[in-house]
Amino acid sequence: MEETYLLNVEGVRKKILHGGQGELPKLQDGSKFTFHFQTLKDDFERTVIDDSREAGMPMEIIVGKMFKLEIWETLLSSMRIGEVAEFWCDAIHTGMYALVSRGMRRITEGRDPLEGQKHRCGMGNMFDYHSTGYDDLDELQRTPQPLIFIMELFRVEDPSAYKRDTWAMSKEEKLAAVPVLHSEGNRLVLRREFAQAAAKYQEAVICLRNLQAKEKPWEDGWLKLESLVTPLVLNYCQCQLELGEYYEVLEHTTELLQKHNDNAKAYFKRAKAHAAVWNEREAREDFQRVAHLDPSMAAAVKKELKQLGERMRKKHVEDRKRYRGLFQSSQG
């Protein structure tokens, strides 16, 4: 089947290469397209620029989430499941392709697609880059031109049918996800599945940090979100203590205490991490702060200080034996 016709969009022509099945999918904000694509130049050789099959991974975009190449959402919206179509798009629609391709290529290469990128709109980034790092994309960036996209649509999923990444959620969805993730993390802790629990707490923190980024620091909205972040970070740190990731705990508790220097639980977890890596002085200072800030934790602090003292004495004895042995062997 081959049919050529104009989409209801200026500067776009469509040719169906293989018909799809059923009706056009019903779309809503958050619907996800999964498809393969090939990008070609509009020259005599139809030079291939990108091919997702060669890259070994299909492409996914989500409706209404400001994908940089907006025309792709329009093209895919005209397709049925299983359809293969060729689209000719004028340069008015393809100016951002170099940046989109750059990100996709970096992902395929196992690199960070946003490496070195400033938090600005796509057009601002166009002026920031002297080079994309790829000669063929640099040429497209210097001289915008018509491109041909061949697309095969595999599936369209409703927002409820797949697990969305945090960035794809609305504000309301992120807020709704946080208590669910918190509860799942707690359930996994009870089963002593600390790595999986830590991942749930971390995902919840990311949701809240994304929302905080839109608030003014230390104002009411920001503080309300921060009050939700703090217990999640502490739970995450407890999991890391159980997993023996002590330097991770030191990093996150120190960051937390820079904002909230009266949080006894954060000092307690940091003290335990210091003790685990033999930072005796720092551990004792943090344990003493805990007892001062929260007298109800004095018994736990006393127990920890006793254990710390015993461990340090044992370590000193072992160190002396080791040094004596080294000294004797060097004398011999």
Same domain, 178 and 151: no
Phi, psi dihedrals of residue 40, rounded to the nearest 5°:
-125, 150
Same domain, 74 and 132: yes
Domain termination site, one of 157, 180, 204: 157
Establish if 142 belongs to a structural domain.
Answer: yes
> What is the band of 126 on the pLDDT scale with cuts at 50, 70, 90?
very low
What's the pLDDT tens digit per position in 80-125?
A: 999 999 999 999 999 889 888 888 887 777 654 445 444 334 444 4
Helix (H), strand (E) at residue 59: strand 59-62
> Who's near 330: CB < 8 A, 6+ residues apart?
none
Same domain, 116 and 178: no
Q: Which residue has the higher pLDDT, 153 or 157?
A: 153
Residue with tokens 């960036």: 141
**Cα atoms found within 13 Å of the Cα of residue 206, Cβ hemisphere only:** 12
Same domain, 10 and 149: yes
| Per-residue tokens: 47 | 């030079």
Same domain, 72 and 209: no
Please state the pTM of the whole predicted model.
0.53
What's the pLDDT tens digit per position in 291-306?
A: 999 999 999 999 999 9
155, 205 contact by CB (below 8 A): no
Establish if 282 belongs to a structural domain.
Answer: yes
Helix (H), strand (E) at residue 40: strand 32-41
> How many angstroms separate the Cα of 273 from the Cα of each of 14, 199, 262?
61, 20, 18
Residue with tokens 């000669």: 135
Number of domains in the chain: 2
Range of the domain at 135: 4-157
What's the pLDDT tens digit per position in 248-288?
A: 999 999 999 999 999 999 999 999 999 999 899 999 999 99
| Per-residue tokens: 53 | 């099959």
Establish if 323 belongs to a structural domain.
Answer: no
Establish if 166 belongs to a structural domain.
Answer: no
> How many angstroms separate the Cα of 177 from the Cα of each of 145, 199, 203, 207, 253?
43, 14, 9, 8, 24
Establish if 118 belongs to a structural domain.
Answer: yes
In order, the DSSP letters of 117-159 are --SS-HHHHHHH-S--S-HHHHHHHHS---EEEEEEEEEEE-G
> Who's near 254: CB < 8 A, 6+ residues apart?
270
Same domain, 148 and 203: no
